[in-house]
Structure 1
Amino acid sequence: MIPGLDRYKKKWNITTDPAIKPGLDSITAALKELGNPQKEGTYIHLAGSNGKGSTAAFLTAIFKEHHLSVGSFMSPHIEDLHDQIQLNGKPVTPDVLDQAMEQLANIRTLLTDFELLTAAAFLVFKNEQPDVIILEAGMGGRFDSTNVITPAVAIIPSVSLEHTNFLGPTIGDIAWHKAGVIKVHIPIIIGDLPEEAEAVIRKEAKKLTAPVVLPEGVPNVSLKLKGAHQQRNAMLAQAAAAHVLGDRFDAERADRGLAAAFIPNRFEEVAPNIFFDGAHNPASVEKLVETVKTELADRPIHVYVGILKDKDYITILRKLEEISDNFTFVDFPHERAMVAKNLYLESKGKVKTIQKVCDILPVLHKNEVALVTGSLYLLAEIRHLLINRQDTK
């Protein structure tokens, strides 16, 4: 479900394939019909379980400080499909996206919704000609529809268990999918990975004679994005930017970019005492818990949770129970959303309730610290409600 996409599909009479099928045949065929727009531009490809969005935000800020224009494609949405395709950190306008959709109306290849949006992103970038393009793989990497480019550099910030029904049950299986973004002779920059995952990545890199870069140290700047893991993401972005820029790289400009970087849904205080965080798997929730213990030490937290049913929700709940005994489980509209009652029954919280997302705003604004987490789709729904309420005031 990509909010806002149906409007364009209806306008241009575009039919999409409802089935999710692995492989790049369809997107490759469609792009060939469009003149292979993905072959133009300087790309940075991001794949990983967590850290992609933050690393992309750091990269965008660094390049903007170097007076370069930046295109980016990310998932999932924050509000709707327009913010998945960005130019210089701002969502693509409906007019610009409409031009791409008009071109897509003429192709014969049947695409899924995500493949359609990916193709639209490539057309937007071809039309707008940004200096650098940052692509974030949607799920996995090897068979993700973004994996049709040859990047200047690829980055894998992290690997952890996720989407196991699609990617496989082990860290090694998932790392194999992430390793699909490695290309012949192209540097691959990696974060602090589990030993099993790093071994898979290095094996693939050796086969393709791709240099493996493991940056060390931390940036000497204060970051708006909180948590020790963000220091590591900033370091990955700095190394990638230095590779792309070469002699044009300016360390002072890079530091200013890192200090200014911001991304929604990363321990974001959206209103006084209301925090959004897109942690949606055990590894990212663990980082969130560490950040809460540091930034909100000794403050009582009310946790609002909605989770997709293909996630390891039991482990996620156990980790969140380290910072709170007070939970509200939220039903939200998504075909993969877990029923809130199931979370309620599994929870060991001492105080727990169930809410529909449409009824959440009055509860959120109680006189307490509220932390909303578990799914980026949940955050998008609540953000939309917040914006609509402000617009009607």
Structure 2
Amino acid sequence: MRFHTFDDVQDHLDALGLFHMDFGLDRMRDALSALGLLTPPFVTAQVVGTNGKGSTSTFLACIARAHGLKTGLYTSPHFVTPRERIRINGEMLPESAWPGLANRVMDAAPKLTYFEFLTALGLLAFAEAGVDFVVMEAGLGGHYDATTAMPVQAVCFTPIGMDHEKILGPTLADIAADKSQAMRPGVPAFTAPQEAEALARLRRTAEEKGAPLHETASLPLPDCPLGLAGPHQRINARLALAVWHRMAERHNWSDRPEAAARGLAAAHFPGRFQHLPAHGSMPPLILDGAHNPHGLRALEAAVLDSGIRPAAVIFSCLADKDVSDMLPFVRRIAGDAPLFVPTIQDNERAMSGEELAALLAEGRGDAVTKPVQRLSLALREAAALSPAGDAGRRPVLLCGSLYLLGEFFILHPQALEQELI
């Protein structure tokens, strides 16, 4: 198979299947070896966890860029195009670069999974571009995640919570045990505040592997604005800053407080308590990809901290999530505001709006809880509750699965990009 256009690469990825997994790191290590990437020409940090991985990765990459380093950022999933996953100095890899890189990956390792293929392609792109520093967000877990096959100089753990239990295990300790296996002997690891079970597992694995573990809960954070909103982002920013300080010290990079503050303020990651102003008939919106209990707890705190009372809430999620633990958070966030529940389109894992709305309606009394067929219809109904021209228009909160937010960004692609550095 030869790739000639970006669409050819996209077709290949689609054929591999977004949700197909094949555990093990041998394929990925063989691919990196064939591509000459087992001794990469850049410094790498890996970001593992349940919530806050993308935000922490973005903070760290922005801090590095603010210090003048050429920086690669690898995140997942994407909303509209896989190009979002691979960025160099904040810019998506151009379509023209994809076929050549994809051909080299295919020649080196034709049997990679969707995520492995993209990971190898991204690392190859970073090497070809001559970046100084790469931030790699793990996809799922840590033990067998494709990013764990890559040599790194730091591993950082964002808050670990209950998610992907069918794959990682039924308890928090099981999930933390899997993620902790991303640690490497002698490589410094950094952790945000964790639940007691998760922290105990991280400490145990760090001791077993001989990886120094640095806890960041009490570290100072500059008194500066953050580009990502919500009180939970201070946890992510503190973690990113701790990793940056160690990397700068180790590699003799400049480490200037004003540059770090500029990087923290410039961070943008779509769908993380993202505020969008009213536009035409569309009311002001807040977008947040909280799709598990831990994420929804953070979203609830952010809503309370900001003093926002949503005019309406739009929520949906995937059927393989532990929905029962999410319901109380969604009900409290919505309060007495109307709650619209669309069915996520073109996703075999989607939960039907009718089924989810019936569960959410319990205990809401007379408050409206309404299933709708599509997100576009939910937006239309929510907009009617916040009339155009009303100076006091309350925002509509759109939250839940990242795939639901992906539908929004397909409808409104201009909301996806925001470059501040």
CA apart distance, 1:7: 2.7
SS in 1 for 2:122: helix
User: For 2:148, what is the secondary structure of its paired residue?
Assistant: coil
> Structure 1 CA distance, aligned partners of 2:401 and 2:6?
22
Contact 1:37/1:123, CA 8 A, preserved across alignment: no
Distance 1:389 1:158 in 2: 27
Is 1:262 equivalent to 2:262 in the alignment? no
Equivalent residue, structure 1, for 2:383: 365
2:412 pairs, out of 383, 386, 390, with 386
Q: CA deviation at 1:153?
A: 0.9
The 5 A counterparts of 1:53-202 are: 53-202=54-203
| Contact 1:219–1:231, Cα closer than 8 Å, also in 2 | no
Structure 1 stretches of 5 or more lacking a match? none
The answer (yes or no) to whether the contact 1:29–1:109 under 8 Å persists in 2 is no
Which 4+ stretches in 1 moved above 4 angstroms?
Answer: 10-15
Normalised by the length of structure 2, the TM-score is 0.86
The one-letter amino acid paired with 2:285 is I
User: Does structure 2 conserve the Cα–Cα contact (< 8 Å) formed by 1:304 and 1:371?
Assistant: yes
Give 1:363 shift: 2.9
- SS for the counterpart of 1:321 is helix
- 8 Å contact from structure 2 (residues 66, 262) kept in 1: yes
**What is the SS of the residue equivalent to 2:181?**
helix
Kindly indicate whether residue 370 of structure 2 is the aligned counterpart of residue 353 of structure 1. Answer: yes
Deviates more, 1:265-274 or 1:161-170: 265-274
How far 1:303 sits from its partner (Å)? 1.1
SS of equivalent residue, structure 1 residue 322 = helix
Structural mapping, 1:43-58, within 5 Å: 43-58=44-59
The TM-score normalised by the length of structure 1 is 0.91
CA-to-aligned-CA distance 1:144-201 (integer Å, 9 cap, x gap): 1111122111100111010000000011111011111111111111011011111111
Q: Deviations over 1:98-151 (max 9, x none)?
A: 221121232454121111111111111121121100000000011111111221
Judged with a 3 Å threshold, the aligned counterparts in structure 2 of structure 1 residues 60 and 314 are, in CA distance, closer, same or farther, namely same
Residue 317 (structure 1) aligns with:
327
- Partners of 1:14 and 1:214 in 2: how far apart? 40
Aligned-partner Cα distance in 1 for 2:40–2:276 = 38
Partner of 2:7 in structure 1? 7
Equivalence for 1:276: 287
RMSD of Structure 2 on Structure 1 (CA): 2.3
User: AA paired with 1:203?
Assistant: R
List alignment gaps of at least 5 residues for structure 2. Answer: 279-283, 387-393, 417-421
| Aligned equivalent of 2:230 | 227
Matched residue of 1:142: which SS? Answer: coil
% identical aligned pairs:
30
Between stretches 140-149 and 334-343, larger displacement belongs to: 334-343
Deviations 1:235-256, CA, capped at 9 Å, x for gaps: 1111111111115211221122
The aligned length equals 385
Residue 347 (structure 2) pairs with residue 334 (structure 1): yes
Q: Structure 1, residues 4-47: CA drift from partner, whole Å, max 9, x if none?
A: x9933477799637742221122223333333367332101000
Distance 1:275 1:65, change over 3 A: same
- Residue 309 of structure 1 deviates from its aligned partner by 1.5
- State whether residues 37 and 122 of structure 1, in contact with CA within 8 Å, keep that contact through their aligned partners in structure 2: no
Q: Which moved more, 1:285-294 or 1:344-353?
A: 344-353
Between stretches 362-371 and 199-208, larger displacement belongs to 362-371
- The range that moved more, 119-128 or 156-165, is 119-128
